[in-house]
Amino acid sequence: MTKVLVATEKPFSRVAVEGIKEVTDAAGYELALLEKYTDKGQLLQAVADADALIVRSDKVDADVLAAAKKLKIVVRAGAGFDNLDLKACTAHNVVAMNTPGQNANSVAELVFGLLVFCVRNFFNGSSGTELKGKKLGILAFGNVGRNVARIAKGFGMEVCAFDAYCPASVIEEAGVKAVPDQETLFDECDIVSLHIPATPETLKSINKALVGRMRKGGILVNTARKEVVDEEGLLSLMQERADLRYLTDIKPDTDAAFSEKCAGRYFATPKKMGAQTAEANANAGVAAAKQIVGFLKEGITKYQLNK
Ligand code: 3PG
């Protein structure tokens, strides 16, 4: 019997797991769950007899693929696939996919949760500010960036965006001002929200010089990846500029230093929360299960990443 393993260090909601099970049951597949695992050994053991694998940010590297002797497909239930070693997947004849867009609204809503929390001074009772009328810069206009733009308009914000891979005309069609480069975005906006993937190109690209261009009182929001931010540079900048604030959904390696040196201007969620809603889990989890069935039964390779 075909076996689908859901391996999630950070588990899906129950409703998502039930949704996945409905899809695998209908296909006549067996579903196995490995949740909240604490060491890689547990994952290596669990993948041994799996034909298909669903993960979130769980690392699927050469060791995992070597241990997964029967594996034909791995689906990252989510957008960012920097946790999948695509070369190793190809080398092991494993098709790798993601589920783009399925958790985008959830991540976008969190951006505004973090922002309201911040501009109301972390709910400490003192007088804060509003988002209405502020200029928001969206760095990368993919599925999350587009949802952020939609919600920002509801707040009455002015919205700008830059995306190195998305034409300005597409951004403008969405009613958002396209700026020519990321420097302009940081120059012109009160708040910049990061939605770039972690790639060799974007690694530490959000650095001291770039963030240092922000206006007085600037806020940087990161619901993307910690790897895109030059943490040391940002920390040094925030010590020089006591007006800047940093909100992140991905705890930096230097979290303790940020908390100590930028108290009252820094907030990191304890665990990545962006996609952590019942809706996002169900959307991404069920999409992943359907993509597995589509591939195994009909050879459908839409969303394959290692073509
Ligand atoms: C994504 O890339 O889809 C998001 O960062 C969500 O990641 P998660 O599934 O680990 O919460």
Determine the distance separating the centroid of ligand 1 and the alpha carbon of 47, expressed in angstroms: 21
Q: Identify which of 255, 197, 257, 245 has the alpha carbon closest to the alpha carbon of residue 221.
A: 245
Pairwise CA distance, residues 69 & 174, whole Å? 46
Left (φ > 0), alpha (ψ -120 to 50) or beta: where does 97 sit? beta
* pLDDT tens-place values along the chain, 307 residues long: 999 999 999 999 999 999 999 999 999 999 999 999 999 999 999 999 999 999 999 999 999 999 999 999 999 999 999 999 999 999 999 999 999 999 999 999 999 999 999 999 999 999 999 999 999 999 999 999 999 999 999 999 999 999 999 999 999 999 999 999 999 999 999 999 999 999 999 999 999 999 999 999 999 999 999 999 999 999 999 999 999 999 999 999 999 999 999 999 999 999 999 999 999 999 999 999 999 999 999 999 999 999 9
Q: Does 142 sit in the ligand 1 pocket, CB within 6 Å?
A: no
Q: Identify which of 242, 227, 277, 284 has the alpha carbon closest to the alpha carbon of residue 56.
A: 284
Determine the distance separating the centroid of ligand 1 and the alpha carbon of 79, expressed in angstroms: 6
Read out DSSP for 9-72? SSPPPHHHHHHHHHHHHHHT-EEEEEES--SHHHHHHHGGG-SEEEESS--B-HHHHHH-TT--
Q: Identify which of 32, 52, 14 has the alpha carbon closest to the alpha carbon of residue 281.
A: 14
Among protein residues, the one with the nearest Cα to ligand 1's atom 6 is: 275
Q: What is the tally of helices (H) and strands (E) in the chain?
A: 12, 12
Given a contact cutoff of 8 angstroms between Cβ atoms, the answer to whether 285 and 33 are in contact is no
